[in-house]
Amino acid sequence: MTRAWILAALLACGCATKVEDAPLPLGDSIADCGGCHEDHFDQFRSSPHATSARSPVFQAMLPDVERQWGGAARAQCEGCHAPAHSSDEGIGCLSCHAAVGNHAERDGMLAVDPSAPLAGALHDAAPTIAHRTRRSDFLVSPSLCGTCHELTGPALVDEPTFSEYRASPQAADGVTCAGCHMPGDGERPLTNDPEGRARWTSSHRFVGFDPPWGATPIEAAAAAERTRALLASALTLEVVRAEGGVVIALSNTGAGHAVPTGATFLRDLWVDVVIDGVASARVIVLGDQPMHGERAVALLTHAERVERGSLDAGAERRVFLAASPSASVTATLHGRAVRDSVLAALDLEARASEIPTHEIAVASAP
């Protein structure tokens, strides 16, 4: 019996028939899962997780990582970006839904068992003709996310996103990673079966900073708006009159971690200000800067140290600019997932159009 025949049979019966035993050999790729979970597949296939291994930035950096830091460093990067939990190139469905725990909350030390029942968030998870299921608290916990979003290497790589989260007000209030990056997506059947029971679902787009590489223009535009909205919900921009001028204040009021976080050496967030028609560029800049001595360099692999430039959860960055009491003042916060200098260093200028420049917030003096 071929995989295609089995899949056709499952689709015909709506993927809802209950069984007691082991899953059928349907395959382990996101496309195989998408045969029944079509909505989730459509959301996930262009997400940063699904494209983690084929990101042109990641692909271009890997050879440089190996040249500068060695083969073990390259393997460490691939451990999170291309974990080989399934036949997919990047992070697939099994990376989360077959996870049974972790060996540590860092450095991709995830424990995955593809032979186990697949994990779900429902308390009344039931087996289907496609696979067995189980309720998993780990699946919906920040600990799962922290397994790869807490990096202590190789070399200068230091991405303490999970530590940032644990120290944040959001963590204290019980807000999870999924609460922001996998927002609620309404009620509907979890499979293609139109007669299936409607369940509350979460978006599998995994909204973040990275663009959906290879997406259609419509998909890319929608993803860009989701990213802009997420950043806007995290950062607050204000212009406040002060004696002799104005104060430009940028605050991290909404994120449960620093902004930016995760590959901060790639990110670019900045505030431009216009006072009576005269522009001042980049009066505030967020993002880590790789340094070689006192010289800024584009690539982390060519650096000796990193100057940290992220804005911690609950923190504020302020700058004073001289201006008359009646001056017209407008500040604009922009964001870009990958700096132009990085693209140039990786010979990826031709892909620059796939990386939108987000206008995140605009503020004016009262």
Residues 143 and 113 in one domain: yes
Q: Domain end: 143, 168, 202, which one?
A: 202
Q: Give a yes or no: residue 30 inside a domain.
A: yes
135 plus 18 within the same structural domain: yes
Structure-token pair, residue 166: 């644990």
3-state secondary structure of 306: strand
Q: What is the pLDDT of residues 55-105, one digit of tens each?
A: 999 999 999 999 999 999 999 999 999 998 988 889 999 999 999 999 999
Residues 188 and 87 both lie in one domain: yes
- Nearest residue to 362 via CA among 210, 214, 231, 238: 238
Domain end position, chosen among 202, 228, 260: 202
pLDDT (0 to 100) of residue 262:
95
Number of domains observed in the structure of the chain: 2
Distance of alpha carbon 296 from alpha carbon 305, whole angstroms: 10
Indicate whether 209 belongs to any domain.
no
Instruction: Give yes or no: residues 196 and 224 share one domain.
Output: no
Q: Which of 149, 142, 162 is nearest to 257 (CA)?
A: 162
Average pLDDT, the chain: 91
pLDDT at 2 exceeding the cut of 50: no
- Whether 266 and 339 have beta carbons less than 8 Å apart is answered as yes
- 11, 147: one domain: yes
Does residue 6 surpass a pLDDT of 50? no
Residue with tokens 């987000």: 358
Place of tokens 């202590």: 152
Residues 64 and 170 in one domain: yes
**Two tokens, residue 356:** 């939108």
What pTM does this model have? 0.90
Task: Please report the pLDDT score of residue 290 as a whole number.
Answer: 98
Q: Are residues 151 and 191 in the same domain?
A: yes
Half-sphere exposure of 263 (CA within 13 A, CB side): 22
Do both 49 and 112 map to the same domain? yes
Out of 202, 237, 262, a domain closes at 202
pLDDT at position 300, please?
Answer: 97
- Residue 221's domain comprises 217-364
